[in-house]
Chains A and B, each alone.
Chain A
Amino acid sequence: MLNIIRTAVREAIVSYAFIERNFNLLKRYLNWEILFFTYSIVNALTIGLIMVGRGDAKDVLYLVIGALVWGFLSIMMREVSDAITWERWEGTIEYTFMAPIHRITHLVGSCLFAIIYGVIRTGIVLAVIPLFFGNHIDLSNANWVAMSVIIAVSSLSFIGIGLMAAIFPLLSPEKGQAATGILQALLLLVSGIYYEIDVLPNWLQPLSKISPATYTLRSIRAAMLDNASVADQLPNLSLLLSIGIVTIPLGFYIFHLGEKYAKRVGRLKRSG
C-alpha cells in the first residue's frame, strides 16, 4: 500500500516534466503564441459583433459564449494530440517513450498542461471582451459558479476525446493532424456552438445528441443567460460526468493500444 502511494507521488512529480517543458516551448515560440492569441480574440469579437445592432444583449452573449467555450474545449481536445505531433516532428518521442515513466503519467502531465493553458488563454480573452462590447453584453443574469462547474466537468469528456485523438499523430504525424482537425470540425458543426441544434438537418441530429459539447453549450448558456444554478443543470452535468468517466479510461486504453501497434510496425522512428 505504502509502495503504491510512493509510486503515485513520484509519478505526480514526474508529470511536472511535461508542464514545464510545454511552458518552455511556449516561451520559445512566443511569436506563434501571440498570433494564436490574437486570432482567438478577433474570432470571439467578430462573431459577437455579428449580433450587435441586430439582436439584443442576450443574443450577442449567446454567440460570444459559443466562441469562448468552443475555444476552451478545442484546447482540451487538441493539446495532447498536438504535443504528440510535436514530439514526432522533433524525433524526441523515442526518448520520451524510453524514459522510465508510466504512459499514464506522461498523458496526465500533458492534460494538466492543457487545463492550465486553456484556463489562462480563455481567461485573458474573457477579460478583454468587455472592452469591446461595453453594454452590448449583459452579464447581470450570469451564474459564474455554475458556469465554472460546468466547464470543469465538461473538460473531462474533452480530455478523454483528446486522448483518443492523440493516437492519430502517434501513427502518422501529418495524417494525424488532419484527422484530429476533421474530428474537431465535425464537433463544431453538430454541437450547436453558434446555433440551436434543431436548425440542423434531421439526419445530423443524432450526432448532436452524442456530442458532449452539445450539453456543455446548453448548460453554459442556461447559466450565463438565465442564471441557472448547478442544481438546475444536474441532469446535464451528470450526463457530462458520465461521458468523462467513460472516455478518459477508454482514451488511455486506446492510446496504449496505439502505442503497442506503433512499436510493432515501427512507426515511432523519424530517421537513423
Chain B
Amino acid sequence: MVTMRTDRLVLKQVQKFFYRKKIQQKPFPQSLFPFLQTEKETIKAVDDISFEVQLGQIYGVLGANGSGKSTLIRLISTLLLPDSGQITIFGYDVVKNSYQVRKMMNRVSVDAAFFKRLSALENLIYTARLYDIPVKTATTKATEILERLGFKADRMDGGMEDLSRGMQQKVAIARAFLTAPILLLLDEPTTGLDPKSKRDVQAFINEIRQEHEAAIILTTHDMAEAETLCDQIAIIDQGKFIARGTAGQLKSQINKPESTLEEVFIELTGKDLQEE
C-alpha cells in the first residue's frame, strides 16, 4: 500500500483538448482525396477545471452527453495525459507518480469492459492477480460484494456475455471494490440500469462510504442520484465547471429556492437532460 501524503485529490487548471479532422463536403475532383483535407477542429473536452475532493467525500459531476465527464475521469485515472494543469492524488502527481497513483484507485465506467467469453470469476481473478491479491481472498470478497448488490453467486461461473447489462455492471463494481481503492472513480455507474438495479448500486455506494474511507468521484446525468449521494456537485458543460456547491447551494444560485436540481441544470446550461 502507498502511504498518503495528503488527504485529498487536487485538480489545478486541468485542460485536455482533442483535435478531430473536419469532415468537409468538397466538389468532385477534390472529394477524391479525403486525406488532403487537413483542416482540424478543436474539441475542448476539459477546459480549465480545478477542484478538490477530500477523503470521505462523494463529489458529483453532473453533465449532459459530451460535456467532458469521462475525459475528466480518464485524466485522473492516468489513461489520458493532461495538456496542461496538474492533478495530484493524495499528494502524488498522476503523470510523474503514475505507478503509486494507480495503486490507490479504481474506476467503474459506463460500459462494463470485460473479456466477454470468460466468466465473471475468471475476469475478477485476472484483476486480483494484477493487483497482487490472493485468489482465495479475492473470490470470497467478490462473492460478498456481488451478493450485497443482489447478484446471484451461481452466475459467477457463466460467461460474461450471457449476463444482462445490469449484472455486468455489478461485476464491474465488484472489480473496482475488490482492490479496496481509496480513490474511486464512478463514471455513470447506474446509467442504463433498471430502477431496482439502480437502487441496489446506489445503496451499496452509500454503505461503502460509511464503512470504508475513500474519496469518490461520481459522474451522472441523473439529478436524483447526484442529490442523494453527493456531498458536493459540480455542473460541467462544454468542458467547464459552470456551477458548484451542495444541492441546496446550487438551487439558491438561480434565486428559485423551491426549484428542483433539474430546473437548476436547465437554467444554467440551457439544456434539458431528459432529451439527451
* B81–A263 CB distance below 8 A: yes
* B102–A272 CB distance below 8 A: no
* A272–B109 CB distance below 8 A: yes
Q: Report if B209 contacts A (CB, 8 A).
A: no
CB distance from B197 to the nearest CB of A (A): 18
**Bound: A161/B110 CA distance, A:** 36
Q: Report if A128 contacts B (CB, 8 A).
A: no
Enumerate A94-140 residues with CB–CB distance to B below 8 Å: 94-102
Q: Report if A50 contacts B (CB, 8 A).
A: no
Q: Report if A54 contacts B (CB, 8 A).
A: no
**Bound: A99/B80 CA distance, A:** 14
* B130–A92 CB distance below 8 A: no
Contacts of A20 in B (CB 8 A): 125-126, 129
Q: Report if B117 contacts A (CB, 8 A).
A: yes
CB distance from A8 to the nearest CB of B (A): 13
CB distance from A117 to the nearest CB of B (A): 17
Chain A minimum-CB-distance residue to B161: A28
CB distance from A102 to the nearest CB of B (A): 7
The interface of chain A, by Cβ under 8 A from chain B, is 10, 13-14, 16-17, 20-21, 24-25, 28-29, 90-92, 94-102, 260, 263-266, 268-272
Contacts of B80 in A (CB 8 A): 263-264, 266, 268
* B131–A21 CB distance below 8 A: no
* B113–A25 CB distance below 8 A: no
Chain A minimum-CB-distance residue to B100: A100
**Bound: A98/B102 CA distance, A:** 6
**Bound: A98/B79 CA distance, A:** 7
Interface centre among A20, A21, A25, A266 (most CB of B within 10 A): A266
**Bound: A266/B6 CA distance, A:** 29
The interface of chain B, by Cβ under 8 A from chain A, is 18-19, 70-71, 74, 77-81, 99, 102-103, 105-107, 109-111, 113-118, 122, 125-127, 129-132, 159, 175, 187-188
* A101–B79 CB distance below 8 A: no
* B107–A98 CB distance below 8 A: yes
CB distance from A28 to the nearest CB of B (A): 4
What are some 5 contacts across the A-B interface (CB < 8 A)? A17-B126, A21-B115, A28-B118, A90-B115, A92-B113
Which are the 3 A-B pairs with shortest beta-carbon distances?
A: A91-B113, A17-B129, A99-B130
**Bound: A25/B123 CA distance, A:** 10
* A91–B111 CB distance below 8 A: yes
* A29–B117 CB distance below 8 A: yes
Contacts of B131 in A (CB 8 A): 99-100
The listed residue (B19, B102, B125) touching A100 by CB distance below 8 A is B102
Interface centre among A13, A28, A95 (most CB of B within 10 A): A95
* A272–B110 CB distance below 8 A: yes
Contacts of A269 in B (CB 8 A): 70, 74, 79
Interface centre among A24, A25, A96, A268 (most CB of B within 10 A): A24
* A92–B114 CB distance below 8 A: yes
**Bound: A28/B78 CA distance, A:** 31
Contacts of A95 in B (CB 8 A): 107, 113, 127, 175
Contacts of A97 in B (CB 8 A): 78-79
* B117–A272 CB distance below 8 A: no
* A96–B81 CB distance below 8 A: no
Known contacts A28-B159, A98-B107; A270 and B113 CB within 8 A of each other:
yes
| Besides A91-B113, A265-B19, 19 other A-B contacts (C-beta < 8 A) | A17-B129, A17-B130, A28-B117, A91-B111, A95-B107, A95-B113, A95-B175, A96-B130, A98-B105, A98-B107, A100-B102, A100-B130, A265-B18, A266-B71, A266-B74, A266-B80, A268-B80, A269-B74, A271-B111
